[in-house]
Chains A and B, each alone.
Chain A
Amino acid sequence: MRSELNEIQLTERWLLHQLSETEAANLHARCMVDEAFAENVEAQRNAYRLIRHYARARERRRLETIYRQLMQEGDFAQHLHSIFT
């Protein structure tokens, strides 16, 4: 892999707590002196959050589709509406 991807892999192992204490301390120290690296780490941390946000949005849409399907079943919909009337 090219060096940028190796750095992403290393950062990932750090963020996922897969590095030794010494390796993690080295990266932490690098963040203190290397602004570009620190920015990359922060962006990568946010990338994982965004991926999870995207995934959850996809799952919510899937659940909405199932809800709409079930609500087209007369018995199911009637049962639910009876609870709220």
Chain B
Amino acid sequence: MSTVTEDAIIQLYRNSFPAIARMVRQKGGTLEEAKDAFHDALLIYMEKEKTGRLSLQSSPKAYLLGIARICWLRARGATASLPAAFDIAEPEDADQEEIAQSLQSSLINSGKKCLELLKAFYYDHCSIQDIAGRFGFNGARSASVQKYKCLEKVRNHLKTQNSYAQ
């Protein structure tokens, strides 16, 4: 696993965000919109980095500027295309977003550790050995079993909430 550290994110912020803010300003946008577009771009950057699929043809700043521009245009209703990494994860409309947040809230209340474990494995791409150490399991086997138990918990929770559809 390769992760973007806190220091690296701050460095990216200092180096890249002013240029993105200028670009958004020139197109008539606000600081808040620039920040949101930059965060979308950073998420894409970080996710690609985590999965080893970040292939920069230019500097990180140029990459973030290009992606943030697309994110900002999309937020304004344009039909610009995003890279494949940022495709199906999040509900597109407000209703789905609301349902997902509601489900998350109830899941967080009943088992935040489970969600953190699942995030570490499926999103952060930590190894099961790393997860065993981080979450205090006896070994990889215990961590793996717990991962499936947690997945079962989320799955069963979703089955009781038939509103979270595709």
Contacts and interface: CB of A to CB of B under 8 A. Distances in A.
Interface of A: 1, 4-5, 8-9, 12, 39-40, 43-60, 63-64, 66-67, 70, 76, 79-81, 83-84
Contacts of B18: 79-80, 83
Given A12-B151, A84-B25, A59 B43 contact: yes
Contacts of B90: 52-53, 56
Given A54-B104, A76-B14, A80-B18, A59 B46 contact: yes
B48 interface: no
A60 B39 contact: yes
Contact of B164 (A1, A46, A57, A76): A46
A40 B122 contact: no
Contacts of B145: 1, 5
B10 interface: yes
A67 B13 contact: yes
Please report whether the interface of chain B is mostly helix, strand, loop or mixed according to DSSP.
helix
25 contacts: A1-B145, A8-B151, A8-B155, A9-B148, A12-B148, A12-B151, A40-B155, A43-B155, A43-B158, A47-B154, A51-B118, A51-B119, A54-B119, A55-B122, A56-B43, A58-B119, A60-B43, A63-B43, A66-B6, A67-B35, A80-B31, A83-B18, A83-B25, A83-B31, A84-B31
B151 A44 contact: yes
A44 B150 CA distance: 11
Interface in B108-138: 115, 118-119, 122-124
A67 to B, nearest CB: 6
B37 to A, nearest CB: 12
A43 B18 CA distance: 42
